[in-house]
Amino acid sequence: MQLRIAAIFAAFLATAAVAGNVEVCIPKTLQIPMLRCMTYLFFCVVFQNNVSCIATSYNQIPVTKNCTEITIRGPFTVPANSKIDLTGLITGTKIVITGEITFTKGTLDKTNDLVTIGGSDITIDGSKGIFYGSGPDYWDGKGSNGGINKPKFIRLKNLSGTIEGLTVKGSPIHTFAISGCTGLTLSGITIDNRAKVYNNDDCLAVNSGSNIYFKNNLCVGGHGISVGSIKPDQIVDGVYVNNCTVSNSANGVRIKAYADATGGAARNIHYSDIALSGIYNFSIIIQQDYTNEGATGIPGGAAPISNVYLKNIHGTMSCGERVYINCAKCTNFNFQNIAITGAVVRLSSLRVVESPPGPLAVP
């Protein structure tokens, strides 16, 4: 009997090696010594060319990178100072994330990313998944500008494809940092950093890349939906932010570049149908005087900002200024249907060295 069942199991493995994903469920009541089965329990493993494609713990994730259909199934915990590396994925890989994945607080600083994803034509379904970054254990009121070490949460690097439906909670600082991506769409993302103190960093930060879509997303707490900060030789060309809500955050719509970012640029930036509430610094901020320590007030044109389209930006502020634009080299700004109440408009900060940025209509 045992030999017969062992032969059947071997046949399943042979099928997996040829056919791809095969789910094998062996009742542990069989008491087969070679399989080390336990009584009255079951186990199920998916094999793709004899490699498990389901990760139910942190240590199992590296093996799944050899699969084209990956499931990351929580709940489980990522140890302190550990990272999830999903770079170098096979072209066309599909990933499903379910359950809650919790990242234990560690001592990594902002030069580190807790999750990195890269590959071509990657599809990620996170509609039943949650990434929790233990944000309240990091939040000290200083964000990325000081205090204790805080890592960035999710880095999308050299990635194309779609990420849909994922819920991200408790980001230590930046939630999504995007670099070198082309043809990337983020849709239906919920970014929730609620706590007694709201002091997270950017909901989205696009540092370089092209044709990036961020739509139908919710950002609670943080520094807003950002393009930048642009540093030397970083180019952002084509960002489309649509139908998003930003609430209880420092800023709403944000484009930022360092004054000395030679070789950098931000162009063809589109924000549309953005709902704001509880914004307390700036609803709209476009600046070429950015530093991590704060605006200098003196813009530089080393990284030109051009072709910026803002349409249907509406909502309320609790305090602060509705618009802050500080440019040395900005061209072709087009703002339509901007309706923001509360706070004030500070157009005295609008500095234009070359051509004017275009029409600006804010009540």
Read off the pLDDT of residues 327-353 as tens digits, 9 standing for 90 and up.
999 999 999 999 999 876 554 344 333
* pLDDT value at residue 255: 97
Mean confidence (pLDDT) of the chain: 83
Q: Which percentage of the chain shows pLDDT scores above 90? A: 61
147-178 exposure pattern, b = at least 16 Cβ within 10 A, e = fewer: eeebbbbbbbbbbbbbbbbbbbbbbbbbbbbb
**84 has a pLDDT exceeding 60:** yes
Minimum mean pLDDT among 37-51, 120-134, 307-321: which range? 37-51
CA 133, CA 204: separation in Å to the nearest integer? 15
**18 has a pLDDT exceeding 70:** no
Residue pointed to by tokens 């980001």 = 171
For 324, phi then psi, to 5°, come to -135, 115
Chain centroid, CA 66 distance in Å: 23
Answer yes or no: 174 catalytic.
no
Structure tokens, 140: 């000290």
* pLDDT value at residue 218: 86
**26 has a pLDDT exceeding 90:** no
* pLDDT value at residue 142: 79
Average of per-residue pLDDT across 271-285: 95
pLDDT confidence bin for 292, thresholds 50/70/90:
confident
Residue ranges per structural domain of the chain: 1-52, 55-349
Residue pointed to by tokens 């044109």 = 301
Superfamily of domain 55-349: Single-stranded right-handed beta-helix, Pectin lyase-like (2.160.20.10)
Of 174, 223, 270, 314, the active-site residue reads 223
**129 has a pLDDT exceeding 50:** yes
* pLDDT value at residue 344: 65
* Short-list 64, 26, 60, 72, CA closest to 48: 64
**80 has a pLDDT exceeding 50:** yes
**325 has a pLDDT exceeding 50:** yes
Average of per-residue pLDDT across 198-213: 80
CA 288, CA 304: separation in Å to the nearest integer? 8
**173 has a pLDDT exceeding 60:** yes
Structure tokens, 183: 């043809």
Top-confidence residue, 242 or 27: 242
Top-confidence residue, 39 or 49: 49
* pLDDT value at residue 195: 52
**34 has a pLDDT exceeding 50:** no
Three-state DSSP at 206 gives strand
* Short-list 80, 177, 187, 180, CA closest to 138: 80
* pLDDT value at residue 342: 83
Structure tokens, 210: 């092209």
* pLDDT value at residue 231: 94
* pLDDT value at residue 143: 79
* Short-list 219, 83, 63, 223, CA closest to 143: 223
CA 186, CA 125: separation in Å to the nearest integer? 11
Determine contact, residues 185/215, Cβ cutoff 8 Å. yes
* pLDDT value at residue 1: 47
* pLDDT value at residue 345: 57
Residue pointed to by tokens 């700004």 = 333
Average of per-residue pLDDT across 124-136: 95
CA 142, CA 235: separation in Å to the nearest integer? 28
pLDDT confidence bin for 35, thresholds 50/70/90:
very low
* pLDDT value at residue 141: 75
Determine contact, residues 170/133, Cβ cutoff 8 Å. yes
This prediction's pTM: 0.66
Average of per-residue pLDDT across 111-115: 97
